[in-house]
Amino acid sequence: MFATRRIRFCPACGAPAEYRVPADDNRERAVCTGCGLIHYENPLNVVGTVPVWGDQVLLCLRNIEPRRGLWTLPAGFLELGESTTAGALRETEEEAGAHVELQELFTVLNVVRVGQVHLFYRARMLDTHLDPGPETIEARLFREHEVPWDQIAFRTVRQTLEHFFADRRGGRFGVHVGDIG
Protein backbone atom coordinates (compact mmCIF):
# COMPACT_ATOMS: atom_id res chain seq x y z
CA MET A 1 0.00 0.00 0.00
CA PHE A 2 2.70 2.49 0.96
CA ALA A 3 5.92 3.33 -0.79
CA THR A 4 7.92 2.17 2.22
CA ARG A 5 8.94 -1.49 2.40
CA ARG A 6 7.93 -3.63 5.35
CA ILE A 7 10.63 -3.91 8.01
CA ARG A 8 11.52 -7.60 8.35
CA PHE A 9 14.79 -7.21 10.29
CA CYS A 10 15.88 -4.70 12.92
CA PRO A 11 18.01 -1.98 11.27
CA ALA A 12 19.84 -1.52 14.59
CA CYS A 13 20.79 -5.11 15.53
CA GLY A 14 19.75 -7.33 12.59
CA ALA A 15 17.42 -9.61 14.58
CA PRO A 16 13.97 -10.40 13.10
CA ALA A 17 11.30 -7.74 13.57
CA GLU A 18 7.60 -8.40 14.03
CA TYR A 19 4.61 -6.13 13.59
CA ARG A 20 2.59 -5.64 16.77
CA VAL A 21 1.04 -2.85 18.81
CA PRO A 22 3.60 -1.76 21.43
CA ALA A 23 2.54 -0.86 24.97
CA ASP A 24 1.29 2.75 25.18
CA ASP A 25 0.57 2.77 21.45
CA ASN A 26 -2.47 2.09 19.30
CA ARG A 27 -0.87 1.16 15.97
CA GLU A 28 1.10 -1.77 14.66
CA ARG A 29 4.82 -1.04 14.53
CA ALA A 30 7.86 -3.04 13.55
CA VAL A 31 9.30 -4.16 16.91
CA CYS A 32 12.64 -5.95 17.15
CA THR A 33 12.36 -9.43 18.69
CA GLY A 34 16.01 -9.08 19.79
CA CYS A 35 16.78 -5.63 21.17
CA GLY A 36 13.15 -4.50 21.47
CA LEU A 37 13.56 -1.25 19.54
CA ILE A 38 10.44 0.12 17.85
CA HIS A 39 10.89 1.25 14.24
CA TYR A 40 8.39 3.87 13.14
CA GLU A 41 7.38 4.38 9.52
CA ASN A 42 6.03 7.74 8.43
CA PRO A 43 4.98 9.67 5.33
CA LEU A 44 7.60 11.29 3.11
CA ASN A 45 7.70 14.82 1.75
CA VAL A 46 8.05 15.59 -1.93
CA VAL A 47 9.08 19.19 -2.63
CA GLY A 48 9.05 21.09 -5.89
CA THR A 49 8.41 24.34 -7.70
CA VAL A 50 6.18 25.96 -10.30
CA PRO A 51 8.87 27.82 -12.28
CA VAL A 52 7.35 30.78 -14.10
CA TRP A 53 8.71 32.87 -16.99
CA GLY A 54 6.26 35.54 -18.11
CA ASP A 55 3.05 33.72 -19.01
CA GLN A 56 4.82 30.36 -19.27
CA VAL A 57 5.49 27.56 -16.78
CA LEU A 58 8.37 25.10 -16.91
CA LEU A 59 7.67 21.37 -17.18
CA CYS A 60 10.11 18.46 -17.33
CA LEU A 61 9.66 15.30 -19.40
CA ARG A 62 10.55 12.44 -17.07
CA ASN A 63 13.44 10.18 -18.02
CA ILE A 64 12.94 7.87 -15.00
CA GLU A 65 10.26 5.61 -13.64
CA PRO A 66 7.62 5.96 -12.44
CA ARG A 67 5.87 7.79 -15.27
CA ARG A 68 8.80 7.96 -17.67
CA GLY A 69 7.79 9.93 -20.76
CA LEU A 70 5.22 12.08 -18.97
CA TRP A 71 5.53 15.73 -17.93
CA THR A 72 6.07 16.95 -14.38
CA LEU A 73 6.95 20.02 -12.42
CA PRO A 74 10.48 19.73 -10.99
CA ALA A 75 10.06 17.90 -7.65
CA GLY A 76 11.53 15.11 -5.56
CA PHE A 77 11.95 13.68 -2.10
CA LEU A 78 13.01 16.06 0.67
CA GLU A 79 16.40 15.02 2.07
CA LEU A 80 17.71 15.05 5.63
CA GLY A 81 19.71 18.21 6.21
CA GLU A 82 17.65 20.52 4.04
CA SER A 83 14.55 22.67 4.46
CA THR A 84 11.51 22.33 2.21
CA THR A 85 12.58 25.50 0.39
CA ALA A 86 16.17 24.28 -0.08
CA GLY A 87 14.86 20.93 -1.34
CA ALA A 88 12.49 22.57 -3.81
CA LEU A 89 15.36 24.69 -5.17
CA ARG A 90 17.67 21.67 -5.38
CA GLU A 91 15.16 19.64 -7.36
CA THR A 92 14.58 22.55 -9.74
CA GLU A 93 18.30 22.77 -10.33
CA GLU A 94 18.78 18.99 -10.66
CA GLU A 95 15.84 18.24 -12.92
CA ALA A 96 15.73 21.36 -15.11
CA GLY A 97 18.98 23.24 -14.51
CA ALA A 98 16.78 26.31 -14.14
CA HIS A 99 17.82 29.40 -12.19
CA VAL A 100 14.90 30.54 -10.08
CA GLU A 101 14.05 32.79 -7.18
CA LEU A 102 11.73 31.00 -4.78
CA GLN A 103 8.43 32.69 -4.01
CA GLU A 104 5.57 31.67 -1.73
CA LEU A 105 4.45 28.20 -0.71
CA PHE A 106 1.63 27.37 -3.11
CA THR A 107 0.23 23.84 -2.58
CA VAL A 108 0.34 21.26 0.22
CA LEU A 109 -1.22 18.07 -1.13
CA ASN A 110 -1.64 14.85 0.81
CA VAL A 111 -1.27 11.63 -1.15
CA VAL A 112 -2.35 9.38 1.68
CA ARG A 113 -2.51 6.20 -0.38
CA VAL A 114 1.25 6.25 -0.95
CA GLY A 115 2.23 7.97 2.30
CA GLN A 116 3.42 11.26 0.80
CA VAL A 117 2.92 14.99 1.31
CA HIS A 118 3.73 17.14 -1.74
CA LEU A 119 4.70 20.79 -1.24
CA PHE A 120 5.08 23.12 -4.23
CA TYR A 121 6.43 26.66 -4.17
CA ARG A 122 5.96 29.26 -6.87
CA ALA A 123 9.28 30.34 -8.36
CA ARG A 124 10.31 33.16 -10.67
CA MET A 125 12.73 32.10 -13.39
CA LEU A 126 15.69 34.47 -13.62
CA ASP A 127 16.48 33.56 -17.24
CA THR A 128 15.47 30.95 -19.80
CA HIS A 129 18.70 28.97 -19.63
CA LEU A 130 17.87 25.30 -18.99
CA ASP A 131 20.24 22.41 -18.39
CA PRO A 132 18.22 19.32 -17.47
CA GLY A 133 19.93 16.52 -15.55
CA PRO A 134 19.81 12.79 -16.32
CA GLU A 135 16.34 12.40 -14.75
CA THR A 136 14.85 14.64 -17.44
CA ILE A 137 14.55 14.04 -21.20
CA GLU A 138 13.61 17.64 -21.92
CA ALA A 139 12.62 20.79 -20.00
CA ARG A 140 10.33 23.22 -21.79
CA LEU A 141 8.21 26.32 -21.20
CA PHE A 142 4.46 26.08 -21.80
CA ARG A 143 1.71 28.68 -22.05
CA GLU A 144 -1.55 27.58 -20.41
CA HIS A 145 -3.16 26.45 -23.67
CA GLU A 146 -0.02 24.48 -24.58
CA VAL A 147 0.13 22.38 -21.38
CA PRO A 148 -0.10 18.65 -22.28
CA TRP A 149 -2.89 17.95 -19.77
CA ASP A 150 -3.29 14.34 -20.90
CA GLN A 151 0.43 13.65 -20.39
CA ILE A 152 0.95 14.95 -16.83
CA ALA A 153 2.86 12.48 -14.65
CA PHE A 154 1.23 13.02 -11.24
CA ARG A 155 -2.11 14.22 -9.92
CA THR A 156 -0.41 16.59 -7.48
CA VAL A 157 1.34 18.24 -10.44
CA ARG A 158 -1.92 18.51 -12.38
CA GLN A 159 -3.72 19.98 -9.37
CA THR A 160 -0.90 22.43 -8.68
CA LEU A 161 -0.96 23.60 -12.32
CA GLU A 162 -4.76 23.96 -12.23
CA HIS A 163 -4.56 26.07 -9.05
CA PHE A 164 -1.78 28.13 -10.59
CA PHE A 165 -3.65 29.10 -13.73
CA ALA A 166 -6.91 29.67 -11.82
CA ASP A 167 -5.20 31.93 -9.29
CA ARG A 168 -3.37 33.79 -12.03
CA ARG A 169 -6.65 34.49 -13.80
CA GLY A 170 -8.09 35.61 -10.46
CA GLY A 171 -5.15 37.96 -9.90
CA ARG A 172 -4.20 36.54 -6.50
CA PHE A 173 -2.16 33.51 -5.43
CA GLY A 174 -3.26 31.66 -2.32
CA VAL A 175 -1.97 28.59 -0.48
CA HIS A 176 -3.93 25.50 -1.43
CA VAL A 177 -4.15 22.54 0.94
CA GLY A 178 -5.88 19.37 -0.20
CA ASP A 179 -5.98 15.62 -0.48
CA ILE A 180 -5.45 13.46 -3.54
CA GLY A 181 -8.02 10.68 -3.24
Coarse DSSP helix, strand, coil percentages of the chain, rounded to the nearest 5 percent: 20, 40, 40
Interactions with its own copies, residue window 45-84 (CB under 8 A):
45, 77-84
The string over 157-176, giving b where at least 16 C-beta atoms fall within 10 Å of a residue's C-beta and e elsewhere, is: bbbbbebbeeeeeeeebeeb
Would you say 112 or 126 has its CB closer to its own copies? 112
Distances (CA, A) of 86 to 36, 93, 163: 36, 11, 23
Does residue 179 bind its own copies (CB under 8 A)? yes
Name the residue type at position 123. Answer: A
Would you say 54 or 80 has its CB closer to its own copies? 80
Does residue 14 bind its own copies (CB under 8 A)? yes
Stretch of 1-9, 49-57, 143-151, 155-163 lying at the interface with its own copies (CB under 8 A)? 1-9
Contacting positions for its own copies (CB under 8 A): 2, 4-5, 7-17, 24, 27, 30, 37, 39-45, 77-86, 104-105, 108, 110, 112, 115, 117, 119, 134, 175, 177, 179
